[in-house]
Amino acid sequence: MDNFVVSSRKYRPATFDAVVGQSHITETLKNSLRNNHLAHAFLFCGPRGVGKTTNARILAKVINCQNLGPNIEPCNECESCKSFDSGSSFNIFELDAASNNSVEDIRGLVEQVRYPPQGVKYKVYIIDEVHMLSTAAFNAFLKTLEEPPAYAIFILATTERHKILPTILSRCQIFNFNRIKVEDCVAYLKEICLKEGVQADDEALHVIAQKSDGAMRDALTIFDQLVSYAGNNITYKSVAENLNILDYDYYFKITDACMGQNVPQCLVMFDEILDKGFDGHLFINGLSEHLRNLLVCRDTETIKLLEVADSVGALYAQQSKAASTTFLLNALNLCNQSDIQYKASRNQRLLVELLLIKLCHINSLVDIKKNFELNPVPLERAAIAESKEPVAAINSKTHIVSPTVSLGGMSAIYKIKQKIIDTKNSVQAAEDLPQAEVKIDIITQQMLDNVLADFKLQLDSKNKKMLHNVLDTFQFSLGENNFININIPGNHNISMIEECKPDLSQIFFDKYMIRPQFNIIAIASTDKQAYYFTNQERFKKLAEDRPYLKDLAKRLDLRFD
């Protein structure tokens, strides 16, 4: 049996032009070589599987190619190219920093730099996963990286640029690799399918590209897995089965059911999804993505953000015409709330079912609101229309239907209608108020007395009787420019009034929409006017005339905290 070579190795690009989705980097490197502006150190950064090491190897091969043409690509015929392809080149070294990250490993590399290349112009050192080097190894490498010999070129590659020392970064030309776009990945997979004789649906290839998350190596690994599973005919169904992906057809059907207010159908389909082993959280995220795609389809400028096959895109375009923007925005908001609440929910299935029920009622609530805005119905007529009792029975009970009495016989729809009417009436009442009643500019003594009375009631409800008693000893008076003067007996009470200021200010704002400024004045108290509130103060005053109390307290180890 022949040895199988995975596609990520078999179809690894050998030229700059074969690299997928990184033209901004390959063109820059080719121009550097063409103009003889080659740096002595490069740093390739980016996510996994996007071509960092591949580009490093191509660059190392091109640098020493002896028959370099105008297209700046390796000839693959000279001695240098052949030795590189066979892995026997003495001028190109690769070091995996993940397993060779000690000071000794870097010192060994530095020792090799001393020796000039053999038969070519440059010695190239590729250090993969360079962020894995220890701090000591970085420091040992720093001097060589800063002032290397003219024949030495270093190419560093990393997925975690933030872990590299700034002193290393400052000595390198930094190239940031992008994630591979879905359309680029699909195009490359189609080329491989032609070479391998594999038939694959566009939908299937789009799913592979989306699951790879911008990493071409991951996409090729998934491709090999699916070829092993489905043979030379890869369909969307085989991809969904093998990768355990929820069929997009479910999302289309559930969205149609929600827009048609068909709650039973939604719940039955969700039960089927759970029976197939899919997680409820996965369903919420998939439904959110589906609704997002529908919203994207509604505008020609954003339709390019839809990364699906053309056949699926046509389905999205068709359904987006039936779904209103209001429905999609409200549905996305509900899905987002459920996504946040899912992990904390004890009954996660019920959470998703409630989500589906709410989605089914979005259109009905919107229609009710629009209907009442255009054709408001008097409250009495609405109650009679929605009540199950005969009109005569209602009239016999009361001449004017009371909302409180009628709510028991009203339907849920009428309750919503009444809520809309009450809200509109409240807003209208607020708008009809005179400006002087909405906002008051000057604080009066009556307002101050009302606020103090409310604040004392709050203190009593919170069982803060001591603070209430202390407050009675303070003198509140009106000053200029809405300042309130607070005269307090002694400096030791300042902390108490500071504690009260925020609550007093809030009550003023709630009642009169104004926030006063407080001016605290501490008054030196005489013995006759002194107030003693704490146990410690009371004991101290008693002990002034009764010295034996101190001795008694000491013997009994009494504390007055």
Q: What is the DSSP letter of 261?
A: T
Q: Where in the chain is the domain with CATH 3.40.50.300?
A: 7-176
**Residue 451 pLDDT greater than 70, yes or no:** yes
Are 517 and 485 contacting, i.e. CB atoms less than 8 angstroms apart?
Answer: no
Residue 269: pLDDT above 90? yes
Q: Which CATH number fits domain 7-176: 1.10.10.10, 3.40.50.300, 3.40.50.720, 1.50.10.100?
A: 3.40.50.300
* Residue at 438: amino acid letter: V
Q: Which amino acid is at 457?
A: L
Q: What is the DSSP string of 272-308?
A: HHHHTT--HHHHHHHHHHHHHHHHHHTSTTTGGG--S
* Token pair in block for residue 83: 């030795």
Q: Are 153 and 63 in contact (CB under 8 A)?
A: yes
> How high is the pLDDT of residue 524?
60
pLDDT tens-digit series, residues 161-196: 898 888 899 889 999 999 988 888 999 999 999 988
Q: How confident is the model at residue 9 (pLDDT cuts 50, 70, 90)?
A: confident
Q: What is the Cα Rg of the chain in Å?
A: 39
* The pLDDT value given to residue 422: 61
Fold annotation for 248-365: Zinc Finger, Delta Prime; domain 3 (1.20.272)
Nearest to 60 by CA among 14, 124, 9, 148: 124
What letter does residue 12 receive in the DSSP assignment?
Answer: -
Least confident piece of the model among 30-34, 46-50, 432-436? 432-436
**pLDDT, tens only, 485-539:** 888 776 656 777 777 888 888 888 888 888 888 887 777 654 444 555 566 666 7
Instruction: For CATH 3.30.300.180, list the domain ranges present in the chain.
Output: 445-523
According to the model, what pLDDT value does residue 339 have?
Answer: 93
Question: In 10 A of CB 128, how many CB atoms?
Answer: 20
Which residues make up the CATH 1.10.8.60 domain(s) of the chain? 182-242
For residues 541 and 236, the model is more confident at 236
Residue 295's Cβ-side half-sphere holds a number of Cα atoms within 13 Å equal to: 15
Q: What does the mean pLDDT of the chain come to?
A: 80
Q: Could you tell me where in the chain the CATH 1.20.272.10 domains are found?
A: 248-365
CATH code of the region 182-242 = 1.10.8.60
| Whole-number Å distance between alpha carbons of 43 and 130 | 9
Q: Name which of 376, 374, 384, 375 is nearest 421 in CA terms.
A: 376
Instruction: For domain 445-523, say whether CATH 3.30.460.10 is its number.
Output: no
Give CA–CA dist 363/345, Å, rounded: 27
pLDDT of 256 above 80:
yes
Given a contact cutoff of 8 angstroms between Cβ atoms, the answer to whether 495 and 467 are in contact is no
- String of DSSP letters for 73-93: ---S-SHHHHHHHHT--SSEE
pLDDT confidence of residue 392: 41
Main-chain phi, psi angles of 559, to 5 degrees: -125, 140
pLDDT at residue 381, rounded to an integer: 47
